[in-house]
Amino acid sequence: MQLPTLFPLLLLLLSTTTISTVTAANATVCQYTLYPSFCRSSLPITNSSANVFDYGRFSVRKSISAATKFSNLINKFLANPSALTTPAVSALRDCRYLADLNLEFLQNTFQTVEKPQPNSVSLVKSQDIQTMLSAILTNTQTCIDGIQATSASWSSKNGILAPLTNDNKLYSVSLALFNRGWGHPKNKNPSNSRSHHRSKLNGFSNGRLPLKMSDKTKAVFETVGRRKLLQSDDQVVVSDIVVVSQDGSGNFTTIMDAVNIAPNKSQAADGYFMIYVTAGVYEEYVNIPKNKVYLMIIGDGINQTVITGNRSVVDGWTTFNSATFIVTAPYFVAVNITIRNTAGAVKHQAVALRSGADLSTFYSCSFEAYQDTLYTHSLRQFYRECDVYGTVDFIFGNAAVVFQNCNLYPRQPMSGQFNAITAQGRTDPGQNTGTIVQNCSIRAAEDLGSTKTYLGRPWKEYSRTVYMKTFMDSSIDAAGWREWSGDFALNTSYYAEFENSGPGSDTSGRVNWDGFHILNATEASGFTASVFIPGDDFIPQTGVPYEGGL
């Protein structure tokens, strides 16, 4: 069944409305949420003149209270770790981190919704808040998944899952009410989105950052030292540069030493703090925290600058913390590096990169592992001209993410397994998340035999993945998409294809799920970098080439 809108589920359940007309009683307001009965019982506002903004503010306040209680509960359990299994402690530590992040996002949200004039909220701020509320649901689901993956024998498990279930419903209600009251209609015509066709930059052409480590660029490093690099209009591009080199010729010999001295909470006007990592194999785990804003890491090229680790679920790590490279810093940029997890297919979930970095950009990078290679966990991300190697669900998570001009390489999994390129994890129709694959290439890795490979499968109920103008070789099964378990999410997911090419792109044998769509150009435009993520707002400053439209 072909639905006429770009985001049918979102617009059906959570459509925005003119602020002057939004006045409703409890039952009317709650009908816009995914859990109307829960909404009515949880937001007992008796004032008949209360409107969606009153309910939204109350819901966010209650969400802050719930998140605080849950954070305290986690700390209570972790105060006596000896009473828990090692996997339980690991999962609870993930939950503590995610709960604290949720509190921060909710407090930021309340600073916006408490304002007496809701119509003063800009489009950018509205999108930012919707992104944070979407991430809160993702963080909570990540905690639930981690707890459920631990042994069922530990006595505290139910004491964690029960409040989490209610908290998740409350966060969903907050998201729905925010979308209804403060959400803005898409004010861009997708078919008129600006297209950007920039060449790869060597050096400082047009005042942009050097994104290829050419001889000219290296000479720039040698001559500018720690002086600020300025554009012609005197806006700071790079505030500082440090060099990581294993032979001791740079400022540091490890990447984390360089990350640790980077400034905290930089502003756009400060420019990027750049870490240049020379060629070599760096056996270290890199974790770039959220306070290292505007950080850029540049290597000497794919397979030249390599960061590698081997953590896995089989060896006792949670999927969330198995990553070789973790980044949560907004406006992060990575260029010319390879990130690997060498645990192998036999170790099951073993992540190379986990990103929860909002408005982050990855350019000319390679991500190599087997199951769960690239964890696009949350918030808004962009990947350009990157390589991704993997087997089962090797691009997964619940970010709003666009892959553009990338190479996706299905490789040989364990015996009896099949390959799924994506496992997108949207749990709520109000979330602005999804995985978009545009103008990419899917080709079998050298080791792939006759194993069936699918474009994706529905990890969560409202999974959303779109392939546009992508080459698909014969390794893609004719059905295209694969079930997760029985008929779970086959009708609520949103899977779509637009003008793909190659022997694997023939849609005549595709699945007949209600959630599968063949798009026209107008519909496909809604999933471009300028519309689905605010690409025009954050990619140009990086100098990375991109196309805003189709």
Residue-wise pLDDT tens digits, 47-97: 778 899 999 999 999 999 999 999 999 999 999 888 888 889 999 999 999
pLDDT (tens digit, 9 = 90+) per residue, 479-538? 999 999 999 999 999 999 999 999 999 999 999 999 999 999 999 999 999 999 999 999
The count of other CB atoms within 10 Å of the CB of residue 9 is 19
Q: Of 163, 64, 55, 175, nearest to 428 (Cα)? A: 175
pLDDT (tens digit, 9 = 90+) per residue, 8-46? 433 334 444 433 333 345 678 999 999 999 999 999 887
Place of tokens 């400082």: 204
DSSP-assigned letters across all residues of 209-235: PP-S--HHHHHHHHHHTTSPEE-TT--
Place of tokens 């719930």: 66
pLDDT (tens digit, 9 = 90+) per residue, 363-384? 999 999 999 999 999 999 999 9
d(C-alpha 448, C-alpha 417), whole Å: 12
pLDDT (tens digit, 9 = 90+) per residue, 400-451? 999 999 999 999 999 999 999 999 999 999 999 999 999 999 999 999 988 9
User: Which sequence positions are flagged as catalytic?
Assistant: 393
Q: What rounded mean pLDDT belongs to the chain?
A: 87
Q: Does pLDDT of 187 surpass 70?
A: no
Q: What is the pLDDT, as a whole number, of residue 209? A: 41
d(C-alpha 142, C-alpha 197), whole Å: 37
- Out of 152-166, 274-288, 336-350, least confident range: 152-166
Q: What is the pLDDT, as a whole number, of residue 152? A: 64
**pTM of structure:** 0.88
Contacts of 329 (CB under 8 A, 6+ apart): 288, 289, 290, 291, 292, 293, 295, 357, 360
